[in-house]
Amino acid sequence: MIPKKNIRELKLEELIDFLKNQNIPSYRAKQIHEWLWKKRAINFNEMTSLSLPLRELLEQNFSLNAVKIHKAERSNDGTIKYSLKLYDNKLVEGVLIPSKKRLTACISSQVGCSLSCTFCATGTLKLERNLNYAEIYDQIFILNEEALLNFGKPLSNIVYMGMGEPLLNYENLLKSIDLVSSKTGLSMSPKRITVSTAGIAKMIKKLADDDVRFNLAISLHTSDDKKREEIMPINKSINLEELKESIKYFFEKTGTRITYEYILFKDINDSLDDAHELVKFCKSTPCKVNLIEYNSVDNIPFQKASNNKTEKFINFLNEKNVIVNLRRSKGKDINAACGQLVNKLK
């Protein structure tokens, strides 16, 4: 039996051609398209503005592989972690993070991850597959609905900081952002979207060449090559100098200020010497630094830097005129904080 084609992989023009071959008016394609993306129908029977024979025709010819909530868990601080089931029963996690000024969705781009960062729970998983752009979009749509349901307001921001390396799923990444920011989708400004990467230099340059308008964050965590190789194996093939060159290229082409993510680990990257190296790295382009509290993960031996060292680190960066923010962890009690996503909600 030949598997049905996923209707959401069809371009609007392809859908129009299919309907024409069935002697169905082309305006129906726009109605179907709206049901797929604006209303996000999860089955063809939900498309109630279409006739029953048309719905049956779609059911006979296409699949509709919608993402669905598998489980949800709420933190004491209001953060909600979702286990989301894909059409093939694989699971990814997404997180809804409330704060005073923002309501942020942290979403995944891959099932698992191939980069094996030693401090990250997701890095203990193998990479199973990329998410397609519709699955990425579904996560955002679902978390937006959950934001309205739980907090009475829509998402203000989206961060591609969940499971996986977004730039290793490049085409689906860009398609999902195009859809989210289009009138067909959620009409969200790209400036409210941040993509986080461990530093795939050639793909950072490709982002620049493609003139993207979303924000870029680099998971840096140390400005010392030897230390970075130990905690982020990707640095063995893409060192800091190559990464810096790609960041310069990105800024020169887009004019967008980079954000560096820097988790402070006890006795690894939290000294004033480390802060000095970070300042030197930051001088290459306009940037800001998000210092992140380390969140403990079972069977991973890293520890959070002390409050005293954290304060000294921040003060040093401030004295050197580097914009720095300390990101307090949210959702730690449900393993929803940065670096803790490992599909425990099964």
Choosing from 113, 282, 287, 338, the catalytic residue is: 338
Q: Are 33 and 12 within 8 A, CB to CB?
A: yes
224-241 confidence digits (pLDDT tens): 999 999 999 999 999 999
**Which pair of tokens denotes residue 234?**
């990707």
The single-letter DSSP state of residue 121 is S
User: Is residue 344 domain-resident?
Assistant: no
Domain final residue, candidates 39, 63, 87: 63
Q: Indicate whether 343 belongs to any domain.
A: no
Residue 346 has pLDDT above 80, yes or no: no
Q: Identify the domain boundary among 14, 33, 63.
A: 63
Q: Is the pLDDT of residue 333 over 90?
A: no
For residue 342, being part of any structural domain is answered with no
User: Is the confidence at residue 327, as pLDDT, over 90?
Assistant: no
Q: Which CATH number fits the domain that encloses residue 232? A: 3.20.20.70
Rounded to whole angstroms, the Cα distance separating 269 from 37 reads: 44
Indicate which CATH number applies to the domain containing 15.
1.10.150.530
Q: What is the pTM (predicted TM-score) of this model? A: 0.92
Catalytic residue among 14, 34, 93, 261: 93
Is residue 13 part of the annotated active site? The answer reads no
Q: Could you tell me the residue range of the domain that residue 297 belongs to?
A: 68-334
| 211-215, long-range: CB < 8 A, 24+ apart | 211/253, 211/254, 212/174, 212/177, 212/254, 213/254, 213/256, 214/177, 214/190, 215/191, 215/256, 215/259
Contact 191, 210 (CB under 8 A): no
Look at strands 103-106 and 157-160 and give their pairing. parallel
Residues 221 and 141 grouped into a single domain: yes
Distance CA 132, CA 155 (A): 22
Q: State pLDDT tens for residues 64-120.
A: 999 999 999 998 889 999 999 999 999 999 999 998 889 999 999 999 999 989 988
Q: Furthest-apart CA pair in the chain: how many Å?
A: 72
- Whether 241 is catalytic is no
Q: What b/e sequence results for 32-56 when a residue is b if at least 16 CB atoms lie within 10 Å of its CB, and e otherwise?
A: bbebbbeebbeebeebeebeeebbe
